[in-house]
Structure 1
Amino acid sequence: MSLLTRRRLLRRAALSATAAGAARSGLAGATAAGTATSTVALSGCDSPPERTTDPEPDRGLRFPDGFAWGAATSAYQIEGAAKEDGRGESVWDTFSHTPGRIRNGDTGDVAADHYHRYAQDLDLMRDLGLRSYRFSISWPRIQADGSGRPNQRGLDFYRRLVDGLHERDIAPMATLFHWDLPQALQDAGGWENRDTAERFAEYADAVFRALGDRVPVWLTINEPKTVVQNGYIWGHHAPGIRDEDAAYLVAHHLQLAHGLAVQALRASGLSGRIGPALNLHPCYPADDSTESAAATRLHDGYENRLYLDSIFKGAYPQDVLDDLGPDSRMVSGVRDGDLKIISSPVDLLAVQYYTPIYVTGDGGTVRKWPTSEAEWQQIYPEGMYDILTRVTRDYGRVPITITENGLPCPDVPGPDGTVDDAGRVTFLRDHFAAAHRAVGDGVPLESYHVWSLLDNFEWAEGYEQRWGLVYVDYASQRRVLKRSAHWYRDVIRRNGL
């Protein structure tokens, strides 16, 4: 495939992908010149209004006993307290304070003030009936400059959080890295520097030993693909670099950091489980042509197999390596033994699903489904079923947890103070049903975390988009359970739909 086609693929990947909780990337130009789009009339939050008083019909779709329903957040998006108790500066502090980077000039300095209001938020989780809470630990709160003696005040905050979860019978699920790299490490080369992976392993070991067996599940790197695509190809996320060759060296070092953290947990003697958190996008040919099929295969290589194959098969996909070429920094940066480290056995896989991708014969993408307020997100619940069954089919029966799935809606309190986000209820209901069907077809799914618990700082979109089950009035920091939160509480109570 030509270099021109590869570059088109990379461009489409950056525009189409990045969930995240993912990667709410702020790509208002997702219909940029050269990107084919189909006409979409509705957004995912334009569902017809439903009467709030109507009871939810029981569909009889029950999940396995012990299934853990939860919600997810990340440190920079909710904690605030950016300069308190010894926390150092992260790349997102630098990026958000750079004029023109974030919509409306927003920053995560205060965010949802969770650092000070965590006890209130824990009570909200308890009242919702959550069984699991997936959060992230701020690396610069533990090591201000990314190395050295851990900051006890930072560790104490997470210890209080974890203890509070246990007191409310909620299982902690901790993510070690959700994009907030200490700025001091970025100044030394960031993820382009192999040494950063070693520093990450030391940080992970410090956290493991501080929190011990109080955390039953650890996730290593959140969405390495988003760091690669949005942080280093398009520059819409921190650190704001545009260098494709650097981007895939970064991909390798993020994967190496994952493997080193897995090894650090094993060496600690702790009994916790550990795995990666990957945003996976099912890729489909946009038409029946052989050209579309070939382009889709390579696109899937960059979107999914680059990360799955290295972890579960101990090798990078050959078609991607061939496309990158032998002179690429990634290919030349892989050392003997690296893939053995990266493929250190894991206990589970965290899957984050937001959108499908439809690939044309020339490497472009098209839209086939309604989009949410995040223009990159097509609403296609069947993609949840497809990606879950594909992972199980191709990589074996590794236990799976869904750690992010959700959408932004234009949530505004009504005259009575309630927030009636009917579109979010419809979205989650349809995705839960798709996940249930996957379980019935043999997928070992053990938990599901809605993105997100709280409205929060949504990366390049600032506070413009609201993804939470709980509405946050940022001026007062008042929390309001949205309609989706009340509905989700009933889902948890009945363990299904």
Structure 2
Amino acid sequence: MKYSFPEHFWWGSASSALQTEGTREGQTTWDYWFAREPNRFHNGVGPQQTSTFYQHWKTDIQLLKQLNHNSFRTSISWARLIPDGIGEVNPQAVDFYNQVIDELIEQGITPFITLFHFDMPMAMQEIGGWENRDVVEAYARYAQICFELFGDRVLHWFTFNEPIVPVEGGYLYDFHYPNVVDFRRAATVAYHTVLAHALAVRAYRAGHYAGEIGIVLNLTPSYPRSQNPADVKAAHIADLMFNRSFLDPVLRGEYPADLVTLLKSYDQLPACKPEDSALIAEGKIDLLGVNYYQPRRVKCRDSAVNPQAPFMPEWFFDNYEMPGRKMNPYRGWEIYEPGIYDILVNLRDNYGNPRCFISENGMGVENEKRFIENGQINDQYRIDFISGHLTWLHKGISEGCNCLGYHMWTFIDNWSWCNAYKNRYGFIQLDLDTQQRTVKKSGEWFAATSLNNSFDK
């Protein structure tokens, strides 16, 4: 069967500054954490050992062209552009990002630019990071500088990538720096991130730029184990905390009332100011990026909460391992293609069908060299993964969902937070020793799909 996509559909991939560029002038939280605790990083590989985009941006953009990308999302490093977060702008960084943006446009590839992709300048973290409203103001200034420098050519801006992840990783579950386990501080970080987002949107609107501004959220549909009311309630609370805590403010301009009520009843609400609600209402977006990797399956708790344990989302649900689920054994994640359709239908039916696109979807696999045939990685599993998701994406579009494109994570194997190069995600294989780039079978498949704006299955 042939699956054709709408005219001007965005075909491309996504990456981030910190995961690709390498050494930068300003220190990030990742540089600092790696220097202190390299044991927390897979094989002791830190954020300096990336796919060297800072040196190879021109040839890498040629590879994007070879893959028939018409769009590509990456981020600007706040710590590269303004090394101390608040002071002078680094002219070398301006030159670098200008060159990247101009070359993308020259090659017919539309740049999608994210302002913050997990890489807090260490100077900002030292004064409290997102817990400090001064950092919120500093971010707003940084955003405005980016709009002024690049807004004449960049027409698609995103304030944050997956803003829930620094909340979870840094302030709940101890997998990102600063390794705090404290729900109320996590809620403050999340709330201030929304305020920072809204200030950036306000600055963008005030500048009357030609493009549009949005945010990228990782949406994990919450599926209850059963239709038992206790399971349904558990899934609802998981959805409130992990999806709607950002989705509602950026699309509706306000928080879900039942989330506010729930957190208030446990005294976990962040400190709010009277003018905050009007600011949040100004943060409504033009375009939503949706990162989808896996579903969240939950059930009601079947054991009592330890009242001495830190307050956690898991006070209200347990994770549920559905029998017979399809797994990516390397990443430990469930593969559930219909989830992408369910996200789009939810946006259509409950959020006014906003302009959106799939900004990340991907499959990380360990030790891909074992799949080399005639000098090329035969990653048919990745082709099956992409085409399976695109089939359900196509169904959503055919039923009126306002989805404008599909970006894969990622175009070249890159450094991945604490996992370094353990799992490879790219269309292009990276040899770490030689920095040689080799297109995988999935890259050829994607190039053909983009060229034809369709695929057969």
Provide TM-score, normalisation by structure 2. 0.92
User: Identity across aligned pairs (percent)?
Assistant: 36
For 1:491, give the aligned amino acid.
T
Alignment of 1:104-123 (within 5 A): 104-123=43-62
CA contact (8 A) 2:49 2:415 kept: no
CA contact (8 A) 1:409 1:467 kept: yes
How far did 1:332 drift?
4.1
CA contact (8 A) 1:372 1:378 kept: yes
Structure 2 residue 217 is the aligned partner of structure 1 residue 261:
no
For 2:320, give the aligned amino acid.
V
CA contact (8 A) 2:331 2:364 kept: no
Q: Aligned in 2, Cα 1:374/1:341: closer, same or farther, shift over 3 Å? A: farther
For 1:146, give the aligned amino acid.
G
Q: Deviations over 1:18-63 (max 9, x none)?
A: xxxxxxxxxxxxxxxxxxxxxxxxxxxxxxxxxxxxxxxxx32111
Distance in 2 (alpha carbons) for counterparts of 1:294 and 1:286 = 11
Structure 2 residue 63 is the aligned partner of structure 1 residue 63:
no
Q: Which runs of 5+ in 2 are unaligned?
A: 302-316
How far did 1:155 drift?
1.3
Question: Could you tell me which residue of structure 1 aligns to residue 348 of structure 2?
Answer: 392
Question: Could you tell me which residue of structure 2 aligns to residue 52 of structure 1?
Answer: none
Distance in 2 (alpha carbons) for counterparts of 1:115 and 1:230 = 27
CA contact (8 A) 1:312 1:343 kept: no
The structure 2 residue matched to 1:432, chosen from 368, 390, 394, is: 390
Question: Could you tell me which residue of structure 1 aligns to residue 22 of structure 2?
Answer: 80
CA contact (8 A) 2:379 2:441 kept: yes
For 2:452, give the aligned amino acid.
R
CA contact (8 A) 1:367 1:378 kept: no
Distance in 1 (alpha carbons) for counterparts of 2:418 and 2:344 = 29
How far did 1:241 drift?
2.0
How far did 1:250 drift?
0.3
Question: Could you tell me which residue of structure 1 aligns to residue 115 of structure 2?
Answer: 176
CA contact (8 A) 1:409 1:421 kept: no
Secondary structure of the structure 2 residue equivalent to 1:325: helix
CA contact (8 A) 1:92 1:239 kept: no
Q: Which moved more, 1:191-200 or 1:309-318?
A: 309-318
How far did 1:326 drift?
5.5
CA contact (8 A) 2:254 2:280 kept: no
Runs of 4+ in 1 over 6 A off after TM superposition: none
Question: Could you tell me which residue of structure 2 aligns to residue 276 of structure 1?
Answer: 215
Alignment of 1:298-313 (within 5 A): 298-313=237-252
Q: Aligned in 2, Cα 1:354/1:168: closer, same or farther, shift over 3 Å? A: same
Relative contact order (C-alpha < 8 Å, sep 6+): which is higher?
A: 1
The structure 1 residue matched to 2:163, chosen from 205, 219, 224, is: 224
Structure 2 residue 46 is the aligned partner of structure 1 residue 90:
no
Alignment of 1:53-452 (within 5 A): 59-82=1-24, 87-97=25-35, 98-325=37-264, 328=267, 331-344=269-282, 345-362=284-301, 363-368=317-322, 369-373=325-329, 375-410=331-366, 411-412=368-369, 414=372, 416-452=374-410
CA contact (8 A) 2:45 2:420 kept: yes
Q: Deviations over 1:243-291 (max 9, x none)?
A: 2221111000111111111111112221121001100011111123111
CA contact (8 A) 1:139 1:203 kept: yes
CA contact (8 A) 1:469 1:485 kept: yes
Distance in 2 (alpha carbons) for counterparts of 1:328 and 1:182 = 30
Structure 2 residue 393 is the aligned partner of structure 1 residue 454:
no
Secondary structure of the structure 2 residue equivalent to 1:294: helix
CA contact (8 A) 1:191 1:197 kept: yes
Distance in 2 (alpha carbons) for counterparts of 1:170 and 1:289 = 49
For 1:120, give the aligned amino acid.
T
Distance in 1 (alpha carbons) for counterparts of 2:30 and 2:280 = 26
Q: Deviations over 1:77-113 (max 9, x none)?
A: 111123xxxx200011112232322111111103001
Q: Which moved more, 1:308-317 or 1:135-144?
A: 308-317
Distance in 1 (alpha carbons) for counterparts of 2:180 and 2:129 = 11
CA contact (8 A) 1:409 1:423 kept: no
CA contact (8 A) 1:190 1:196 kept: yes
Distance in 1 (alpha carbons) for counterparts of 2:276 and 2:40 = 35
Question: Could you tell me which residue of structure 1 aligns to residue 432 of structure 2?
Answer: 474
Distance in 2 (alpha carbons) for counterparts of 1:106 and 1:140 = 20
Give the aligned length. Answer: 434
Q: Deviations over 1:462-494 (max 9, x none)?
A: 111101111100111100101100000111011
How far did 1:170 drift?
0.3
Q: Which moved more, 1:364-373 or 1:478-487?
A: 364-373
What is the RMSD of the two structures over their aligned residues, measured on CA atoms? 1.4
CA contact (8 A) 2:187 2:270 kept: no
CA contact (8 A) 2:42 2:422 kept: yes
Q: Which runs of 5+ in 1 are unaligned?
A: 1-58
CA contact (8 A) 1:73 1:135 kept: yes
